Structure 1
Amino acid sequence: MSTVGTASASAAAPRYQVPFPCGETWVGSSGSSAHTGYEIDFNGTATDGDRDLGRSVVAAAPGKVVMSEYRTTDGFGNVIKIRHSDGSVTLYAHLDKRLVSVGANVGQGQEIGKLGKTSAKYKMAAHLHYEQRTSSGKIVRASFNGAGFQYPGQKIKSNNGCDGGTNTEPANPNTGSPRYSPEQICGSGFKRVDSAALGSQGTVYLLYSNATGQNCVTAVRKSGAGKVSATAYLEVKGSKRVTDAGTYQYYAGPVRAKAPRTCVKWGGAIGSAKYDSQFEHCG
């Protein structure tokens, strides 16, 4: 998204989700002696050791990567920072691997790294150190799916990416047709595979990421004021269809699903114009 990451006084705060894939349950704690406030350490259970090493970490909200590096002075090790539409920042530290680079636009629920225990300052078991910050850098109480995190600790299930619910549609002052590119919507690493016109309303796109094995579908409106009904869906053969449907001004989606060497059915609609594919792109 071309404007994600630009601070705006009028932009609404994103609806953060737990930074792990849909349906996973994690235990968050703020009890570490190294913490000074509202930081959260996430593990799969309360006493997980290194069993979480290498598990997927995903973006809590769509945004732009403003830091992706190995840090020594603050003990973060491999750390990623993402700036969101209202200027707020989420931070993901001690990662085993970083999968996105500075400047990348990422979608909510997109994998950005692998959970780890990297640090030049501390010895630790594998976990994710997570923070939500204001635009000025102040660490604040975290919220997920519209509810405040229950400090000092909570067992919490992720809704991140469930039922295609990843579309927060920040305001876009840019002009042009379309106002967002499908690559910006789906995130770093996704390349176009196919597309279909939705009459004069816009285009639905199918993209694929070689790095993650994921397909992504988004229906992008060409122009027009106000909001319209829009839908994007993706169905991997043998799996449940994932759909994002609502009333949007710019696009529906992104919806993502892993489909390496598997046929997919995809499509979408804007207003009364729609497209439905057959099962295809099986390679």
Structure 2
Amino acid sequence: MKLRAALVTGVALVLSLGTATAAVADPEPLSADAQILATNFQMPFPCGQSWTGNSSGSSAHQSWEIDWNRGSTPDADLGDPVVAAAAGTVVISAHQGSTNGYGNLVKIDHGGGWSTYYAHLNVRSVSAGQAVSQGQRIGTVGNTSKPGNNISPHLHYEVRLGTSYPSNIQKAVFNGVTFGYPIQTLTSKNCGGSSNPYTPQQACGAGYDVIDSAGLGSSGSVYLLYNNGNGNNCVVTMKASSLGTPTATTAYLEVQGSNRQTDSGNYGYYAGPVYANAPGKCVKWGGKAGSSVYDSPFEHCGS
């Protein structure tokens, strides 16, 4: 049974000053603050994941660059998905070789002089010239760099405005709030760049965390979640267009050696949840929204 909720609009923010109140001022329309809010950058990780960013942990850092990690061991996030912080066009997808310490680098142009950099990737999933949507998978966390530079896996992330390096590096803003430099742990709200009122966690239920995701163009994203408490996997496809209007949407989960479980129908917000327990086995997962389809290989094999 799908949940339904009323959307709240017209929320006004006020500051209380003693007995008086004053509206919070909007940024100047042409200011950098206004531009970055309009771009609506989100964290470069799937919706619902929590990561710790650190801008002071590397001597190679310039101003507002951020290194991201999660987990308790150096390799805990190796291979975790990295997604686009905002929609745009890929202008660099290459290994930088001996040029610098970026290793596998993806750079996305968001228009208006804004760009984002995703460095040290283990795998690059996009090509130069490709249009990407917000929340679309662009690679995985890695530790690639220049020869002889041995680093632990992490995502190096930058936001730039203009071309005068390094003064063009800007403070990162996620979901309209400036990152809490130098160190802050945040939960991603990069849910496909849509105004879908539901999250993958709400669809799957309490105790589920996102462990992987894949973009479905501008139509939405499909998510794989896991519950440490009961050992169940969950797949849900979240729509990002035609919200509230029933359209064909599908989510599926297949445990290796077992029949595929599928939820397919005309839904307003999401397909699923589809659950399966897969102790010691690999799973294949995917979904469809609009004309876009994602089918994973058998992966995320249990121990």
**Taking structure 1 as the reference length, what is the TM-score of the superposition?**
0.59
In structure 2, the partner of 1:27 is 52
Describe the shift of the 1:213–1:246 C-alpha distance in structure 2 as closer, same or farther (beyond 3 A). Answer: closer
1:165: how far off? Answer: 3.9
Matched, 1:264 2:294: no
Aligned Cα root-mean-square deviation (Å): 3.8
Partner of 2:184: 154
Question: Are the counterparts in 2 of residues 26 and 155 from structure 1 also a CA contact under 8 Å?
Answer: yes
User: 1:85 deviation in Å?
Assistant: 3.0
The alpha carbon displacement at 1:44 in A equals 0.4
1:216 CA drift (Å): 5.5
- 1:17 alignment partner in structure 2: 42
In structure 1, the residue matched to 2:207 is none
2:127 paired residue number: 101
* Consecutive aligned runs of 4 or more in structure 1 exceeding 6 Å deviation: 232-236, 280-283
User: Post-superposition shift, 1:86?
Assistant: 2.4
Structure 1 residue 246 displacement after superposition = 8.6
Structure 2 partner of 1:133: 160
Give the unaligned 5+ runs of structure 1.
1-8, 168-211, 219-231, 270-279
SS of 1:84's partner is strand
Q: For 2:135 and 2:221, how far apart are their aligned partners in 1?
A: 16
Residue 88 (structure 1) aligned with residue 88 (structure 2): no
Q: In structure 2, the residue corresponding to 1:54 is in which secondary structure?
A: coil
Alignment match, 2:202: none
Segment of structure 1 superposing worse, 49-58 or 114-123? 114-123
Q: 1:75 to 1:266 in 2, by over 3 A?
A: farther
**In 1, Cα distance between equivalents of 2:51 and 2:221:** 28
Task: Tell me, yes or no, if the aligned pair for 1:235 and 1:266 is still in contact at 8 Å.
Answer: no
* Aligned mate of 1:166, from 194, 201, 225: 194
Give the number of aligned pairs. 198
Identity of aligned residues (%): 41
C-alpha displacement of 1:217: 6.6
- 1:42 corresponds to 2:38: no
CA radius of gyration, larger in: 2
Q: CA deviation at 1:245?
A: 6.7
**8 Å Cα contact 1:213-1:259 kept in structure 2:** no
Structure 1 residues 214 and 33: CA distance shift in structure 2, 3 A: closer
The 8 Å contact of residues 218 and 240 in structure 2, kept in 1 or not, is answered as no
TM-score when scaled to structure 2? 0.56
